[in-house]
Structure formats: structure tokens, C-alpha cells
Amino acid sequence: MSFAVAIDGPAAAGKGTISRAVAAHFGFAHLDTGLLYRAVGAKVLEGADAIEAAEALRAEDLQADNLRTAEVAQAASKVAVIPEVRAALVDFQRAFARRDGGAVLDGRDIGTVICPDAEVKIFVTASAEVRAKRRFLELQAAGSTMSLEAVLADVVARDARDRDRATAPMKPAEGALILDTSEMTIDEAVAAATRAIAARR
């Protein structure tokens, strides 16, 4: 039986951490859909055409080790405004959402476009400053020398591009639980998401 959990929200709000934790808790599969756009963005930085790259995307492309950089994140949000790029990635995501045994997908348009009939929809957010600080620490741990100010500027620019685009803009789905993690620990945020899912099972 399928059971879809849609987790959307802006950059570095905690979607990934929450998604991985609830997927492990309920034994669901997890898809970080940002990786699809990051993989296409990385190929564009290497000179590929965005639409061709999206249409030819393979599972191995999601394993590339450069996908978490700030440069690739910006490239991802630029290819993500192209309707043909998004269209090329829809079937894979919908099939994943409806696989047997349950699935958690995190991204920007999971509850609105990819899986509007998801059993649970959560929109995870936090203030831009808190999100930038979290992403700054993650990037630093991965060896980046970017300043906190530069990370904040990046996050704000990417949020604006994701929110203002015409196709599948980032916004809470109807009926989504809004989870503002600005003042929450990871454990508190995971517990809130776990409760919301448990209530629907």
C-alpha cells in the first residue's frame, strides 16, 4: 500500500533532516527532490543544455559528490524555473511517491504539484537568518570558506527565485501543517512531523 508524505519549504529549513528521520521511523523510502534539480544544475555548469540534461537524468547522477555546493544550489534554482525541466522530472517523482510501503519526498512543490493527494503535507520553514546560519555551518563542515553574509544573500536570492517563478512556485499546499523550526531543536521538529504522520496512519 502507498502512503505519501510531502515535505516542502525554503532552503535549509530542516526538510532534509526531518524527512530522513521520519522515513527511518516509519520505514518509508525517502527522495530528496532537490537533488534532481541540483544534478541538472551541475550539468549546466559543465556546459550541458538544461532541458536535455533533465530528460537524460539517470539515478547515478544523483550520487555526484559536488551537488551540495552553494554554486550548484544557485544553478539548481535557475534550471528549476524552466517548465520543460520540471516536466521531465514529474513522472519519476510521482512514481516514487506512490511506491509500495510509503514514501517521503521533500522539495518545493511536492504537496502542490507532484503529489497534491499526499496523505500528509508539511511546510517546514524558519527565519532567513536561522536558515542561513544552519547552511553556513553545514557548508563550513564540508570545507567551504563562504562568509555567513554571503550564505544569507544566497539563501534569500534562491528563496525569491523559488517563490516568484510562474511554474510550481514554492508555497504551502492547501491543508499543509506549517512547521516553523526557527526556535525548535531537531528533535522537537522531528517529533512534530512524526505526530502529524502518525495521526493519519
Q: What residues make contact with ligand CDP under the rule CB under 6 A?
A: 11-12, 16, 33-34, 37-38, 73, 76-77, 80, 107-110, 158, 162
- Helix, strand, or coil (residue 68): coil
Name the grid cell of 98: 506512490
Beginning with the edge strand found earlier in the chain, give each strand of the sheet holding 120-125 in spatial order: 29-32, 103-107, 4-8, 120-125, 177-180
* Min CB(113)–ligand CDP separation in Å: 8
The Cα 10–Cα 132 span in angstroms is 11
Name which of 102 and 106 has its Cβ closer to ligand CDP. 106
Name which of 11 and 122 has its Cβ closer to ligand CDP. 11
Name which of 63 and 198 has its Cβ closer to ligand CDP. 63
* Min CB(121)–ligand CDP separation in Å: 13
Query: Would you mind telling me the total number of residues written for the chain in this entry?
Result: 201
The Cα 30–Cα 16 span in angstroms is 9
* Min CB(83)–ligand CDP separation in Å: 11
The Cα 110–Cα 114 span in angstroms is 5
* Min CB(168)–ligand CDP separation in Å: 7
Closest CA to 37 of 57, 8, 20, 17: 57
* Min CB(97)–ligand CDP separation in Å: 12
Name which of 142 and 199 has its Cβ closer to ligand CDP. 142
Amino acid letter, 112: T
Name which of 139 and 197 has its Cβ closer to ligand CDP. 139
